[in-house]
Structure 1
Amino acid sequence: MDSTADNPSGRRLAALSLAALGIVFGDIGTSPLYALRECFHGEYGIAVTPANVLGVLSLIFWALLLIVTIKYLLFILRADSHGEGGVLVLTSLVKAGGADRSAVGRTLVALGLFAACLLYGDGMITPAISVLSAVEGLGHIEPAFQPHIISVTLAILTGLFLIQKHGTARVGTLFGPVILVWMIALAGLGLSQILRTPQVIKAFSPWYGLAFLLDNRLHGFVVLGAVFLVATGAEAVYADMGHFGRRPIRLTWFGLVLPCLVLNYFGQGAHLLNHPADAYHPFYAIVPSWALIPMVALATMATIIASQAVITGAFSLTSQAIQLGYLPRLRVRHTSVSHRGQIYVAPVNWLLMACTIGLVFGFQSSSKLAAAYGVAVTATMLITTTLFFVILRQHWRWSLAAAATLTSLFFAVDLSFFAANMTKIFHGAWFPLAVGLTFFTVMITWRRGSEILAVKSRKLTSSVNDFLARIGEERPERIKGQAFFLTRSRDIVPVALLQNLRHNRILHAEVFLLHIRTEEVPRVPNFEKIEVERLGSGICRIVARFGFMEQPDIDIIFSLCKGQGLDVDLDRASFFLGREKLTVGENPAMGRWRSNLFLFLSRNAMDAVGFFRIPSDKVIEVGARLEL
């Protein structure tokens, strides 16, 4: 499980660490803008007393230590698949272990899929709250700017989504340096306040956090929902592991991000000990007046970078879901030849844009948005811990006692934060849950509908062996050329081939049954991608395997086939594709509303020609009528 693929050092390690700083830690690195403020000035803000300040700081420190450092950096990051991470990867590992063969296993896989869907809600809220909290600094520079904060935020967010189709590879080189300057600024601001009020370092003791919860009881527990905001970027750390590797991520966290964040949070706390009235925005309160303008500008750039990382993550998640068969084919455009993670999915981009702008309009302030933030992330973390327990038992062969002891610690922390965030369910926290449930419904409907269609299609076709026997008996007329037929299963003859033979009563001299399948691994090595089997009678079967983070491409398939000695030529080839005309029957297997949803998705899906990049002038479509 623990991949040993790459251990960079020297300049490569430094370059990867700087890049990881910009992409991986952008979200968690901008939390100081609003996290501590919400503990004392948000919907459930608590009184600014020395005991409460030290207690909240203690909870913040131990949340960063237990959730990000111990759970994710030391343990979860080891649960990789060929160096890739993320909740979908974790789910694929559970499936690979055979867990999905039981009812409990299928539930676990469904939970993993739901956790991935919740990240869409996070992708809508993060840009809104991050950019809005940064722009709110304009009100500290000049109160006259206050009425224009929303319009400035909307302009920035609109521009951010509009540039997505052009890619961010060029400006991406600035992400690391900008976040580096941001981290240094965080540390400098915090350290200056700590030196003035050094007693704040007592908050490193966990007893202050425990005393805070005991003294404030229910109110203190509710404040945990705001404390959790310091760890909202932890899932991104795991999801982006494949781009940089564990070593650069860990080095960046321990060597820079964690110390800078802790210094800033403690610096804000030190200022509140002396100036309780500044709880309405403690971050900007510790910025000297002469530095307010450059700090607002720097904060805005940092939040844009954090938002970009989340948006790119939503694109990547969509691409993975398409390859795994949970979403219909959508056009996935690669915007960079050198950055494999730089992709663009137009429908997702416009949906994120509409919802993000709607959130800014609806909530009007980052403080109110914070009430909607956290539930989706804590739910995802709970599910991650559940799946990780299965990984410990199935893949790492830990004893039940050892696995239960470790994950019980994680469960206790995750469940506490989840329960605290659930108190905000009627203050906006329902939104990311609704988004996640909507995407989950779409995904399981598409997957189930595709399975039903596959069963219906089999009734119209035959097995490869039966077809070969029929060809041997009937000996149809053969014509020159190469005919490629895409098939859903390697052992089934596609309907398009049978229909062509039935109506035209001819076969090409060379017939290729092409089955393109997505494996439950992120990437398949080139030497394992293609399996060629000559079946006789001029018929050849090609099985092309791709990982769920790869884009199948007909040019790649042809190139790899030639490497195996197969004489295929795109100029001589014709592609016969089946096109189903779908209707909803009297008693649809999925129910009428889900069947109609599948029908809508199918009609708006990208066809195989564009998805697999097949030259359109080489395609012949053969229709068939199927009833859901």
Structure 2
Amino acid sequence: MDKSTPAALADGMALTGPVGGHPPTEAEQHKRLAPLLLAALGVVYGDIGTSPLYTLRECFGHVGLPLTEGNVLGILSLVFWALILVVTVKYVIFVMRADNKGEGGILALMTLALRKAEATAFPRPALLVLGMFGACLFFGDSLVTPAISVLSAVEGLKVVAPALEAWVIPLTVVILVGLFVVQRAGTAKVGRLFGPVMLLWFGTLAVLGVVEIAHGPGVLRALSPVWAVAFAVENQWLAFFALGSVVLAVTGGEALYVDMGHLGRLPIRVAWLGLVLPALLLNYMGQGALLLRDPAALENPFYHLAPGWAQVPLLVLATGATVIASQAVISGAYSISRQAIQLGLIPRMPIRHTSEKEIGQIYVPKINWTLCALVIALVLGFESSSNLAAAYGIAVTGEMSITALLFYVVARALWRWPRWLAGALTAVFLAVDLAFFSANLLKVPQGGWFPLLAAGILFTLMWTWRRGRRAIAERLAEQGMSVDRFLARLKHRKPHRVPGTAIFLTRSTVVVPHALLHNLKHNHVLHERVIFLTAINEEVPRIGDDRRFEAEDLGHGFWRVVLHFGFMETPHVPQALELMRRHGFTLDMMTTSFFVGRETIVPSNHPDMKPWQERLFIVMASNAASASDFFCVPPNRVVELGAQIEV
């Protein structure tokens, strides 16, 4: 495409707002390490940081293990090595190296793998399905995390004031509803409190653990893997069943990778190794020492670590920490939703930016209230964190297994690792992940079915939407007229030209927009300047301003303009056009009109999909946000022209 007009298109100028922005560079991370470390505590580690509230209780209470020294040390050893192998080795050391222009997460990893899929034995459709289902499992986890986290904290009322046990469920619901209600205001102000609160939380975890370890330092023997092996040999199937509860200690570990784009690798790694991991280990060891000293503490070993006078403040702090953990997961669901929209996996939805400075702070109303309804239903349906624990873990371990497979593709295709090295490392990761996943499959009848059902429904919606949009594109291409043919006809049939600029939003760069043909058919006029505008979502997180747009003069007053956006960006067309204007492209927004085709999908006598998929796609399309809203086009400058399309 010719980029010679307008001049100097390569000299991009930085813009603020949702079009620009980039993850912190290594130099910026070193310069701002202290504030980034505090931010990492509040944003990244809320979920895994609140796992001590319920993990050991479920390992013994749910599985029914007797509180012998061998069992306690064996479970502690499994928890320790799970944190080391899954979180530290897999994510912190290796997976976090697989960044897509600084961004992480299952969809970012999928796009990296797709980019070089031909260099491996994995076919592109298989990689696409893996990435899509991994994202769906993340949504399933997003439902369970707020429910189990807040409920497990509020259950401290049973310890502090047993008479208030009946208020646990109502209070949990009130806290969760309040959490979802405040999402529309954004987390910028509340977010400043997250880091200090979580710093206090991890400090409290460490102190409580150290005090109890001092009474029984022998518990530190659990750091040896010998105890884990001995536990597995002695208990066999019961030990395998216990893995379904041990995995609760590492849920939230994937957040290190998901949030890498917001904070960078360095702060996340330093915070994990320097504070979070030591605090978690000290608290787990302290709980183990307590159980060996007082088996009755199994009712709630976390709260029983604290003396009586400290239990009420600890309850308040734990509730605050679980709210922060829930906030992180909800924000992650917004981020994954935006990526899925940009990659064409789900329908367009209204996305609101809640901060003028932070690109990652967004609010997706439909996702918010869907999550709210389902999370409340989970709390009311399962009634206790112990019951919810049966639903927790299977989505996370499934996503972790998919991450390991995609990591192999990236290691082989992008990093050029030898097959034996990539295969050996992936085999180790999968051995651990699949062991946890298999153990969690045993919990499907007790509640593990819920996140799997949620992920399955969402995957069906994604696949249906993708197939339906492909069918629509094929129909438009069949019925459309090429730009070259249209311009050739203009030489012989010249319609009346009116002053101003008309911008037609179109998916295709080679086919004339249906909206233009309809406008010409009914109004018999063309504007003096006509721009065919196509927004392309690239398989990278963000696009630099030097590559934001391309412009080609087609003659006869027609231009072809292509705008490029990354999957972590909200496509803001007016801001991109302002960037063009600054580079010499004359454009007066006051004399510019945007023409958008509004497609009405109707059933076909020869459908491209199964009847139920066809009906589902029509419903999804009718509820999708309009193109003008999604591309942030001023509503008073938009003209919508409708058309019926059969699928």
**TM-score after normalising by structure 2:** 0.95
Question: CA, structure 1 residues 524+10, in 2 after alignment: closer, same or farther (shift >3 Å)?
Answer: closer
Partner of 2:401: 382
Q: Does 1:27 align with 2:44?
A: no
2:200, 2:624 → 1: CA distance?
43
Letter in 1 for 2:605: E
Which secondary structure does the structure 1 equivalent of 2:510 belong to? coil
Letter in 1 for 2:445: F
Tell me by how many angstroms 1:505 deviates.
Answer: 2.9
Tell me by how many angstroms 1:8 deviates.
Answer: 3.7
Aligned residue among 592, 605, 610 for 1:586: 605
Letter in 2 for 1:38: E
Aligned residue among 243, 246, 249 for 2:268: 249
The answer to whether the Cα contact below 8 Å between 2:186 and 2:362 also exists between their aligned partners in 1 is: yes
Partner of 2:373: 354
Partner of 2:207: 188
Letter in 2 for 1:120: F
Partner of 2:195: 176
Which secondary structure does the structure 2 equivalent of 1:453 belong to? helix
The answer to whether the Cα contact below 8 Å between 2:29 and 2:267 also exists between their aligned partners in 1 is: no
Q: Does 1:239 align with 2:258?
A: yes
Partner of 1:460: 479
Partner of 2:13: none
Partner of 2:6: none
Q: Residues 492-528 of structure 1: CA distance to partner in whole angstroms, max 9, x if unpaired?
A: 2111112222333322110100001110011000110
Q: Residues 334-371 of structure 1: CA distance to partner in whole angstroms, max 9, x if unpaired?
A: 11112222111111111111111111111111011001
- Within 5 A, what are the aligned runs for 1:264-343? 264-343=283-362
Gaps of 5+ in 2: 1-22
Aligned residue among 36, 61, 69 for 1:16: 36
Partner of 1:201: 220
Letter in 2 for 1:255: G
Letter in 1 for 2:604: G
Higher mean C-alpha deviation, range 8-17 or range 521-530: 8-17
Partner of 1:223: 242
Q: Does 1:71 align with 2:90?
A: yes
Question: CA, structure 1 residues 240+515, in 2 after alignment: closer, same or farther (shift >3 Å)?
Answer: same
The answer to whether the Cα contact below 8 Å between 1:63 and 1:231 also exists between their aligned partners in 2 is: yes
2:184, 2:644 → 1: CA distance?
37
2:431, 2:120 → 1: CA distance?
29
Tell me by how many angstroms 1:9 deviates.
Answer: 5.6
Tell me by how many angstroms 1:407 deviates.
Answer: 0.7
Letter in 2 for 1:89: A
Letter in 2 for 1:340: I
Tell me by how many angstroms 1:398 deviates.
Answer: 0.5
1:379, 1:7 → 2: CA distance?
35
Which secondary structure does the structure 2 equivalent of 1:459 belong to? helix
The answer to whether the Cα contact below 8 Å between 1:574 and 1:619 also exists between their aligned partners in 2 is: yes
Q: Which has the higher contact order (CA 8 A, sep 6+)?
A: 2
Partner of 1:553: 572
**TM-score after normalising by structure 1:** 0.98
Partner of 2:443: 424
The answer to whether the Cα contact below 8 Å between 2:39 and 2:194 also exists between their aligned partners in 1 is: yes
Partner of 1:569: 588
1:59, 1:492 → 2: CA distance?
60
2:352, 2:43 → 1: CA distance?
20
- Within 5 A, what are the aligned runs for 1:487-526? 487-526=506-545
The answer to whether the Cα contact below 8 Å between 1:461 and 1:498 also exists between their aligned partners in 2 is: no
Letter in 2 for 1:297: V
The answer to whether the Cα contact below 8 Å between 1:100 and 1:108 also exists between their aligned partners in 2 is: no
Tell me by how many angstroms 1:469 deviates.
Answer: 1.3
Q: Does 1:367 align with 2:374?
A: no
Tell me by how many angstroms 1:252 deviates.
Answer: 0.2
Tell me by how many angstroms 1:262 deviates.
Answer: 0.2
Q: Residues 126-175 of structure 1: CA distance to partner in whole angstroms, max 9, x if unpaired?
A: 01100111111111111101111111111111111111111111011000
Which secondary structure does the structure 2 equivalent of 1:577 belong to? strand
Q: Does 1:542 align with 2:586?
A: no
Which secondary structure does the structure 1 equivalent of 2:593 belong to? strand
The answer to whether the Cα contact below 8 Å between 2:120 and 2:413 also exists between their aligned partners in 1 is: no
- Within 5 A, what are the aligned runs for 1:387-466? 387-466=406-485
Aligned residue among 152, 166, 177 for 1:133: 152
Tell me by how many angstroms 1:231 deviates.
Answer: 0.4
The answer to whether the Cα contact below 8 Å between 1:53 and 1:269 also exists between their aligned partners in 2 is: yes
Tell me by how many angstroms 1:198 deviates.
Answer: 0.7
1:487, 1:579 → 2: CA distance?
11
Q: Residues 272-319 of structure 1: CA distance to partner in whole angstroms, max 9, x if unpaired?
A: 111122212111111111100000000000000000000011111111
1:55, 1:125 → 2: CA distance?
27
2:341, 2:596 → 1: CA distance?
19
Partner of 2:233: 214
Which secondary structure does the structure 1 equivalent of 2:104 belong to? coil
2:35, 2:502 → 1: CA distance?
48
The answer to whether the Cα contact below 8 Å between 2:220 and 2:285 also exists between their aligned partners in 1 is: yes
Question: CA, structure 1 residues 175+541, in 2 after alignment: closer, same or farther (shift >3 Å)?
Answer: same
1:173, 1:280 → 2: CA distance?
35
Higher mean C-alpha deviation, range 390-399 or range 138-147: 138-147
For these two proteins, the number of residue pairs brought into alignment is 625
Tell me by how many angstroms 1:460 deviates.
Answer: 2.0
Partner of 1:476: 495
The answer to whether the Cα contact below 8 Å between 1:61 and 1:262 also exists between their aligned partners in 2 is: yes
Tell me by how many angstroms 1:225 deviates.
Answer: 0.7
Tell me by how many angstroms 1:614 deviates.
Answer: 1.4
Question: CA, structure 1 residues 461+103, in 2 after alignment: closer, same or farther (shift >3 Å)?
Answer: farther
RMSD of Structure 2 on Structure 1 (CA): 1.4
Which secondary structure does the structure 1 equivalent of 2:348 belong to? coil
2:416, 2:276 → 1: CA distance?
33
Letter in 1 for 2:41: L
Which secondary structure does the structure 1 equivalent of 2:643 belong to? strand
The answer to whether the Cα contact below 8 Å between 1:57 and 1:269 also exists between their aligned partners in 2 is: yes
The answer to whether the Cα contact below 8 Å between 1:129 and 1:369 also exists between their aligned partners in 2 is: yes
Which secondary structure does the structure 1 equivalent of 2:590 belong to? coil
Q: Does 1:142 align with 2:157?
A: no
Which secondary structure does the structure 1 equivalent of 2:491 belong to? helix
The answer to whether the Cα contact below 8 Å between 1:575 and 1:619 also exists between their aligned partners in 2 is: yes
Which secondary structure does the structure 2 equivalent of 1:173 belong to? helix
Higher mean C-alpha deviation, range 97-106 or range 424-433: 97-106
Higher mean C-alpha deviation, range 258-267 or range 569-578: 569-578
Gaps of 5+ in 1: none
Aligned residue among 609, 627, 635 for 1:608: 627
Which secondary structure does the structure 2 equivalent of 1:140 belong to? helix
Letter in 1 for 2:161: E
Letter in 2 for 1:46: L
The answer to whether the Cα contact below 8 Å between 1:7 and 1:247 also exists between their aligned partners in 2 is: no
Which secondary structure does the structure 2 equivalent of 1:429 belong to? helix
Partner of 1:89: 108
Question: CA, structure 1 residues 377+33, in 2 after alignment: closer, same or farther (shift >3 Å)?
Answer: same
The answer to whether the Cα contact below 8 Å between 2:24 and 2:263 also exists between their aligned partners in 1 is: no
Letter in 2 for 1:325: G
Question: CA, structure 1 residues 76+101, in 2 after alignment: closer, same or farther (shift >3 Å)?
Answer: closer
Q: Does 1:261 align with 2:280?
A: yes
Aligned residue among 35, 40, 54 for 2:60: 40
Which secondary structure does the structure 1 equivalent of 2:27 belong to? coil
The answer to whether the Cα contact below 8 Å between 1:333 and 1:345 also exists between their aligned partners in 2 is: yes
Tell me by how many angstroms 1:592 deviates.
Answer: 1.0
Letter in 2 for 1:21: L
Partner of 2:20: none
The answer to whether the Cα contact below 8 Å between 1:158 and 1:353 also exists between their aligned partners in 2 is: yes
2:38, 2:393 → 1: CA distance?
27
